[in-house]
Every structure is written in structure tokens, then in C-alpha cells.
Chains A and B, each alone.
Chain A
Amino acid sequence: MKTSLMKAIELIASMDAELLDILSVTAQMSLQSSIIALLIGLPIGIWLGACRFPGRNVLLVANRTLMGMPPVVCGLLFYMLFSGVGPFRHLRLLFTVDIMIMAQVVLITPIVVGNMETYVAGVAPAVRETAKGLGLSGTKTFLLLCSECIYQIISAYLLAFSRSIAEVGAVSMVGGAISWKTNVMTTAIMQYTNRGNFSLGVALGIILLSLSLIVNIVISLLQRRLSR
């Protein structure tokens, strides 16, 4: 136990090549998937929060269902679609970072949507009433709504990002946890633990926890700014 911890710190300090590779794959996957999720989820979340239309409740329930989807189910879905028997097999995406990003986008976009929808639904009526009362244009009203939500947007993004680096079920299924290729922090921890090599696992665990700590400190600072 003690020696693993020592070795873990040593690995981090010496910038072990494999460790660095795992970090870089993780960063690639998490940054890309969370940015794509934000680009898709933000407009949908604002739309669902600000507008009332028939079918809106159905969409909200669907989104909540997606938010609760077990990652392994998402992994299974993508595996079936892209594996040797699936309809998209010729794309040869299985066991690549790209398919990991796709699976992640499916998992975390609903988080962005749900997060934004709840907040926007709270502020939109007052913003809209005020903007309409002043006779402001639709574009200006939309921009005002976005600027009123800016901290919420950042915190929704960070939430999506931290979910993405912590997720293991889907990425291990579709990525295959191939060393030097698709191995990310979570899958590597699983792999090395199974092999009895704890030190790299512990090193990754420390980094994951620190990242999560930083993200959560930023979120809580934002929330403090949000609360009046």
C-alpha cells in the first residue's frame, strides 16, 4: 500500500511516458466530447427552457431518461452498431478515440440539456417579459437570456467535462482500453488493478481526484457568484 503510493508519486513526478500518453488520450476524448456536447446541448436546453410548445414534456421526459441511461447500455449500443456485424462496420471506428467521443457525447449531452433547461425555465419568463416590455428585438432578447445564463453555461460545461473524464463503462466497451491508443485514465486504472500493478492506478487516481477537485471548486465559485 505504502510502496504503491510512493511509486505513484514517483511516476507522476518523473512524467512517465505511458502515464503521459494516457493523460493525453483522456484529454483528447474529454475535451472534444464535452465541447461537442455543449454545442449540441446548449441550444436545445435553452430552447426547451424558454419556449412552450406541444410535445415539450415528452422531450423533457426523453432527456431525463437519457440522463439516467447506464453507460454500459450506451457502450453496448455503439458496440453493436460498429462491430463486425453492425451496420456501420465499414467505418472501422470500433476501438478508436472517435467512437469513444461519440459514445460520450450521447451520455453527456443530456446533462447539459437538463442543466440548462431547468435554469433557463426559471429566468426566461422575467427576461422575456422585460425585453418585450421595452420593445427589444428577438435577437437582443436571446442574447440577453444567454448573458443572464453565462455562469450556468460554464458550470454545465464543467459538469459535462467531469462526467466525461470519470466515465468508464461505455469507453472501455467501445474503446477497448488499448494501451498507447484508446486507454484513458479510468480504463487504465481498471486494467492495471486487474494486473496487480497498483502504482500506475494510484497515480491516475490521484490525478483524477485532483482534477475533480479543481472542477468542483470552480463550479462552487461560480455558484457563489450566481446566488445573489
Chain B
Amino acid sequence: MKISPFSKTYEGRCVLDFPGIELQHGRIYAIVGANGSGKSTFAKILAGILRPDKRDRLFSGGAIGYMPQKNYAFRMSTKANLLLNGNDMARANALMDAVHIRHLANKRADRLSGGETARMALARLMMKQYDLVILDEPTAAMDMETSLLAEKIIVEYVKKTGCALVLVTHSLQQARRIADEVLFFHEGRLLEVGTAQQMLTSPEKDETKRFLEFYGF
């Protein structure tokens, strides 16, 4: 799956200049970088929510699933939120079990807590199959145990559907656990690409080294 180069400018300031990349099916790509480095902008453009500066087709074909950094719960039950994205009741129940929200199935979804909303949104997305899935910090609002749970179902989903998955994350540990490749963003540019192990043990760029130091690597 080939993604063409694109850029995004806000008020004359270029916040993202992406050189393009070839995504493989069945692989997980982690996007890491500091606040404001353009990760969410990248995710939104890929998902077709935002328009890049030049309106070319970014990539050819395929269904895209996208989970925003801020998730929205529709004013209906948690179960109904899942069923918006497909009507397989058994699958909805299995997904709610997987992220431990089965007990919230009949609760109004817009009254869930932040972490519960994130779990609901992840389960809702996974009701359907996509060729490319983009998750913008899906586990940021989750506790450690739930994060690990989410990682597990993300990996399972990729294995089962064979989609390519882009995972924006602030957790390098998470990237190391589940990502096949890590893309390091710095001030709107893709600075370095490599396997998680490679990036963590022998980063090439100084900015990457500095970023990693904060995490104790």
C-alpha cells in the first residue's frame, strides 16, 4: 500500500512534510514524536479527515478505519455504539468482553469515563474490517492493564484481518511490544524509520537520541 508524499500548512506554517511510505499488509507501524510534532495531523490526513495542501489521491483504494485522539460517543448505549459499525451481535459481545466493557453494554455511552470511552471506541472500530487502520493514541486514557489488553486485541485484529495498522503512541515500550516498524516524527518531518529494536538501541539522529533519553533508553 503506497502512500504518496504530502504536506500540511496552517496559517503559513508547515506543520507536516511527509515524504511518503510503502505500508505492508499485516504490519504495525508506530508513530512516535513529541507533542506538536505532527502525529495527529498525519493520522487525520491519512484517514481523509483533513485535506493535505495538494489534493492528490494519497493512496489507492481500500477501506480506512480511524480512531481519533479524542473519541466521541454517540448518545445511545455502548452496545448501540458498537452496532452502528456492523450488526453482528456476537462480534459486538466478544469485543465488549475483550476490552472489559460488557458490564457497560446498556449504559449511555456518552456517560462513560475517558478510559471506558476509549475502550468502547476501539471495540466499535473493530466491528468492521479495514485495509488500513489508524489509531491515534488509543491507550493514552487507559490504565496499564487495559493498555496491555488493548495491545493484545490490536495485534490479534491485524493478524486476523491482515490490515496495515498505524499506531500513534507516546509509549516507546508499547511500540517495542507490538510495532514492526517505528516512524519518528520531529517538527513535522519524518526523521527516522526503523524497527523498534533498531531505533531504541542505535538511533541515527541526534534528535531521536534526545527524545529517547527522556524515556531512559
**What residues of chain A have their CB less than 8 Å away from a CB belonging to chain B?**
126-127, 129-130, 132-136, 140, 144, 147-148, 228
Contact = CB atoms under 8 A, between A and B. Distances in A.
Contacts of A144: 74, 84
Interface of B: 47-49, 63-68, 70-72, 74-76, 84-85, 110-111, 124-125, 128, 130
A226 to B, nearest CB: 9
A228 B68 CA distance: 21
Nearest to A148: B75
Contacts of B65: 133-135
Contacts of B124: 134
Contacts of A147: 74-76
B75 A133 contact: no
Nearest to B121: A130
A130 B121 CA distance: 9
A195 to B, nearest CB: 52
Contacts of A140: 84
Given A135-B65, A136-B85, 11 more contacts: A129-B72, A132-B49, A132-B66, A133-B47, A133-B67, A135-B130, A136-B84, A147-B74, A147-B75, A148-B74, A228-B111
A134 B128 contact: yes
A147 to B, nearest CB: 7
Given A144-B84, A148-B74, A135 B128 contact: yes
A129 B85 contact: no
Nearest to B66: A133
Contacts of B75: 147-148
19 contacts: A126-B70, A126-B72, A127-B74, A129-B68, A129-B72, A130-B68, A130-B71, A132-B47, A132-B48, A133-B49, A134-B84, A134-B125, A134-B128, A135-B63, A135-B65, A135-B128, A136-B85, A144-B74, A148-B74
